[in-house]
Structure 1
C-alpha cells in the first residue's frame, strides 16, 4: 500500500442512501478512502436501496449495521472510522445529537461533517418553515463546538439536480423547463450558486484530510457557478432558442404566499428560495479565512485540491 493511501482517513457515511449521501459514498471510494455506510435492517428490504447498497459493496465500500437510535452499534461503527460524514435528511437533523453523543463515547473521531449541504445556516435570512430547520442546524453547530469535536461544515449552496431542470423556477421543481412562462422571485438579480452533486461530494471528501478545512466552514462558490436567476434564464433561452415570459413576484407577495397559501413542499421550497433568490444569502458576504475556507477551482468530478481564499 502506498504511503498516501495509508494516510487517508477511514470514512463512515451516515445517510449514505440519500440524495447527496450516495454521491459522497462513491466519491470517498473513488478517492481511495476505506469507506463504510451505516445501514438499518429495513434498507435491505427496500428493493431500490438494496440495489444501491449492492453497488456500494461492489465498489469496495463496507456496510455496517446500525441506527441513530441504536447507541451501542452506532458507537461501534464510529470506532471503526476516523471521519464521520452525516448526510441524513431533514427529518433526522435533530437526531444528529445522537451521533455527537456516540462520538464522545468512541473518542476517536478526527473530524465530523454534519448534514448541512446547503446555504450557511449562520447567514441565512428567511421565514418558517425553513427558518426553524436552519435554527436547528445552527444549534447543532454550537453543540459540536461546545463539545470540542473537530469538524468541517460544508456549505455547497444549491443542488444542480434540484434547481436547474426547472431553470430555477421553484414552483415547477420536478416538472422540467417551463413551456412559456417562468416564475421569478423578486427582481431576479440576486446571485445564487448551483453545484453538481458529484462535485459537491468530491469537494466534501477532499476536505476530510485537508488541514485547511479543519474547524472551518467549507464554501463551494466557484465563479462560473455563481449566477442570478435572470442570468440563468438567459443562458437557457440562448441554448433553447426561445424566450420565456418572466413573471416577477415581489418579496412581500412571496412572504404572503408562504404564510397563507403555500402547502408542503411548496412552502419549504419558497422559504428556501426567499433566502437564495430574493435576499442573496449565498453570496452577500465575504469569506473570512480565519473561520472559512473556499473551494474556488473549476468543477469536475476529478476535483483538484482546495484553494485557500486570498
Structure 2
C-alpha cells in the first residue's frame, strides 16, 4: 500500500521535530509548513534546512494568509498539527481553527491529527479552573473538526517522559535528584509515561491504519503505568541509594497553585489531576478508542527504567 503524504504543522517544536523524524524514518513523503512568522529564529531555520537535507519538503505558508494554508494542505493526504501549547489560549485556538478551515477546502486530505497529545480532553469536563481551559480549547477544535466532517485521529499520549520522569514527577524539575524527592500526596496514583520519540512513532503509524480512523488512540505502554512512588523506586535502584522523602499534601498543593501566576496555575492544575486523582489510568478506553501498544506490538517502546538510565 502506498504511504500517505504528510504535512506537519509546527515541525520545529518540541514534539513536532520528532514527528518529522518519525515520518521520514517510516518512509512517508514529508512536508513541513515553513511559516513566515518564523522571523529570524536561526535555530529553527537551520532545523528546517536539516530536515530538507534529509528529504523533507518545506512549504511556505502563514496563518495570516489563509490561501497559503489551503495550498499547503492540498499537497498531502494527512495533516498533523503539533503547534506548541505555550501559545496563549485564543491564539492557539485561532491557528488550529484556521487549519481546519483550510482542510475543509482540500478534499484530498483524508485525515487530520490535531495538536493534543496529552490527557484526553473529552474526559476532563470536570477539571478544575484554570487548568480546564486547555481541555475546553481542545474540545472547541474537536467540535470544529467533526462539524466539518473531517476524518481524524486523536492522540492521547499521557505524560511526556522528559517533563515527568526527568523530575521524578515533581513540577518544576526536569533532572532527577540524587538526594531528595517531594512525594505528591500518597504518591500511589498511577500515571502513564511515554518517551516523546515513541509518541511520534506511534502517531505516524496510525495515519494509514483504518483501525484508528475517527477514533482516539491512547498510548499506554504497560510497563510505564506507574505511580510516582514506583518511579522513585526505579531511580533509587539505578543510583543505589534511597532518597530523602517529604510529602506535599493535597491541601498544600492546592494552596501552592493559588499563589502562582495564571500560566503556572494552568500547568499545575494538570499535575494535580494526574498525580493526586490518577486521571490518566482510572478508566477503560471504550469502544471508540484503540491502544497503540496493542495495535503496534513491533514498536520496542522505551520503558521508564531505560529512560531514567540516561541521567546516570
Residue 270 of structure 1 corresponds to 268
Residue 279 of structure 1 corresponds to 277
Residue 217 of structure 2 corresponds to 218
Distance in 2 (CA, whole Å) between partners of 1:86 and 1:140 is 11
Runs ≥4 in structure 1, deviation > 4 angstroms? none
Distance in 2 (CA, whole Å) between partners of 1:191 and 1:158 is 11
Tell me if structure 2 keeps the 8 A contact 1:224–1:298: no
Tell me if structure 1 keeps the 8 A contact 2:166–2:173: no
Residue 120 of structure 2 corresponds to 120
Distance in 1 (CA, whole Å) between partners of 2:3 and 2:191 is 33
Residue 156 of structure 1 corresponds to 157
Distance in 1 (CA, whole Å) between partners of 2:210 and 2:21 is 22
Distance in 1 (CA, whole Å) between partners of 2:298 and 2:122 is 26
Distance in 1 (CA, whole Å) between partners of 2:146 and 2:183 is 38
Q: Following TM superposition, by how much is the alpha carbon of 1:68 offset from its aligned partner in structure 2, in angstroms?
A: 2.0
Question: How is 1:30-45 mapped onto 2 (pairs within 5 angstroms)?
Answer: 30-43=25-38, 45=40
| Cα 1:229/1:191, change in 2 over 3 Å | same
Residue 17 of structure 1 corresponds to 12
Q: Following TM superposition, by how much is the alpha carbon of 1:152 offset from its aligned partner in structure 2, in angstroms?
A: 0.3
Q: Figure out how many residues of one structure are paired with residues of the other and give that number.
A: 293
Distance in 1 (CA, whole Å) between partners of 2:273 and 2:298 is 25
Q: Following TM superposition, by how much is the alpha carbon of 1:179 offset from its aligned partner in structure 2, in angstroms?
A: 4.5
Match of 2:289 among 289, 292, 304: 292
Q: Following TM superposition, by how much is the alpha carbon of 1:69 offset from its aligned partner in structure 2, in angstroms?
A: 2.3
Mind listing any 5+ residue stretches in structure 2 that lack a counterpart?
A: 303-312
Residue 26 of structure 1 corresponds to 21
Give the TM-score normalised by structure 1: 0.90
Distance in 1 (CA, whole Å) between partners of 2:208 and 2:5 is 10
Give the TM-score normalised by structure 2: 0.89
Q: Following TM superposition, by how much is the alpha carbon of 1:130 offset from its aligned partner in structure 2, in angstroms?
A: 2.2
Residue 232 of structure 2 corresponds to 233
| Cα 1:52/1:126, change in 2 over 3 Å | same
Q: Following TM superposition, by how much is the alpha carbon of 1:250 offset from its aligned partner in structure 2, in angstroms?
A: 2.0
Q: Following TM superposition, by how much is the alpha carbon of 1:264 offset from its aligned partner in structure 2, in angstroms?
A: 6.0
Provide the aligned C-alpha RMSD in A.
1.8
Distance in 2 (CA, whole Å) between partners of 1:110 and 1:133 is 26
| Cα 1:224/1:299, change in 2 over 3 Å | farther
Distance in 1 (CA, whole Å) between partners of 2:193 and 2:76 is 31
Q: Following TM superposition, by how much is the alpha carbon of 1:270 offset from its aligned partner in structure 2, in angstroms?
A: 1.5
Question: How is 1:1-310 mapped onto 2 (pairs within 5 angstroms)?
Answer: 4=1, 7-43=2-38, 45-90=40-85, 91=87, 92-95=91-94, 96-124=96-124, 125-173=126-174, 176-259=175-258, 261-263=259-261, 266-288=264-286, 290-296=287-293, 297=297, 299-300=299-300
Distance in 1 (CA, whole Å) between partners of 2:199 and 2:93 is 23
Deviations 1:109-150 (A, max 9, x none): 100000001011111353233211111102211221121110
Distance in 2 (CA, whole Å) between partners of 1:301 and 1:77 is 33
Mind listing any 5+ residue stretches in structure 1 that lack a counterpart?
A: 303-310
Tell me if structure 2 keeps the 8 A contact 1:171–1:183: no
Deviations 1:79-115 (A, max 9, x none): 1011000000121430211011111112221000000
Q: Tell me, what secondary structure is at the counterpart of 2:123?
A: coil
Tell me if structure 2 keeps the 8 A contact 1:192–1:228: yes
